[in-house]
Amino acid sequence: MDKDCLIVIPARYGSQRYPGKVLARLGGKPVIQWCWEAAVKAGLGEVTVATEHAAVLSAVRAFGARAVLTSPRCQSGTDRVYEAARGTRAAYVINIQGDEPFMTAATLKKAFRKLKSSPDCQIGTACVRIEDRADIENPNCVKVAMNKAGRALYFSRCPIPFHHALSDLRDLPYYKHCGFYIYRRSALERFVKLKPSPLERLERLEQLRALENGMGIAVAQVPALGPAIDVPADLRAAERFLKRAGR
C-alpha cells in the first residue's frame, strides 16, 4: 500500500437524475460497495466514502467502510473530496465516483503509475478505446484527445479528434474518458480554489478547468469498464453486464 495516497469516493445521495443511486442494489449489494471494494483491492491507500446524507453514511458503515459526512453545499464531487481530505497529509488524493461499480483495481493502479511517471502533470486519469460507433456521437460519452505521451489535450462531449474525409489517418481511434481523477495534493488544493472556467461551463466538464489553467493531465489507456449508474435504466444494464461476466 502506498502510504502517500488517500482514496475518497464521493457518494451524493441527492442525484438529480437518480436520487439514491449509490444505495441501489446491484448483485445483492449497494452500488457504492462495489466502488469501495475496487478501491480497497487497489491497495493504494486508505479509502473513505464522502457523502452529504445520513442514509449513505449508515449503509457504508454497515458493510465495514469508513465514511464521513460532508457539507450539502459542496458544488461538485471534487469539492466533496477536498473537504474529506482536509486534515490529512496524503501526497496524492484519488477521486473515484460512487456510481462506477465496475471500476477495477488494475485501472486505478495503472493511472496512478502514469501520474507518478509524468512529472509535468498534476492530475492523472484514464481512458478506454471506443468500440461502439454510437458512443462517438453520444454527448454523455466524454471523449479525450491526447498527445503521444498520453497527456490530455482536450476533453469534449463532441467527437474528437475530428476525422476529416481527406485525412490518411481516418482509422485513428476515439477514446472515452474514465471519470476518475488522481490529484497531487497541491493540484487539488489549487483546483478547488479556481473559478469554473468558460470551457468547463460550456461543456459542463470540470476537467476543462484544469486544462484552461495550465494543469497537465496524464491519461492511462486501460481496458473497458462496465456501465456507470446515471439513470435507473443503467442499473438494468449493469445487471446484464454482471451476468455476462459471471459475477
Q: pLDDT grade, residue 15 (50/70/90)?
A: confident
Is the residue at 120 inside a domain? yes
Q: How many CA atoms lie within 13 A of 37 on its CB side?
A: 9
Distance, in Å, from the CA atom of 232 to the CA atom of 220, rounded to the nearest integer, reads 30
Q: Is the pLDDT of residue 156 over 60?
A: yes
Q: Quick one: which of 62, 63, 32 has its CA closest to 49?
A: 32
CATH code of the domain in which 25 resides: 3.90.550.10
What confidence tens digit (pLDDT) does each residue in 202-233 have?
Answer: 999 999 999 999 999 999 999 999 999 988 99
* Residue 202 region by backbone torsions, left for phi larger than 0, else alpha for psi between -120 and 50, else beta: alpha
Q: Do both 21 and 94 map to the same domain?
A: yes
Is the residue at 235 inside a domain? no
Summarize the chain as % helix, strand, coil (round to 5).
Answer: 35, 25, 45
What average pLDDT does the structure give for the chain? 94
What confidence tens digit (pLDDT) does each residue in 29-75 have?
Answer: 999 999 999 999 999 999 999 999 999 999 999 999 999 999 888 88
Number of domains forming the structure of the chain:
2
Contact 67, 60 (CB under 8 A): yes
Domain boundary among 67, 101, 135: 101
Q: Do both 108 and 219 map to the same domain?
A: yes
The predicted pLDDT at position 2 comes to 55
What's the predicted TM-score (pTM) here?
A: 0.93
Residue 238: count other Cβ atoms within 10 Å of its Cβ.
21
Q: Do both 157 and 182 map to the same domain?
A: yes
Is the residue at 234 inside a domain? no
Q: What percent of the chain has pLDDT over 70?
A: 99
The predicted pLDDT at position 14 comes to 87
Question: What's the length of the chain?
Answer: 247
Range of the domain at 191: 104-224
Is the residue at 218 inside a domain? yes
The predicted pLDDT at position 3 comes to 63
* Residue 231 region by backbone torsions, left for phi larger than 0, else alpha for psi between -120 and 50, else beta: beta
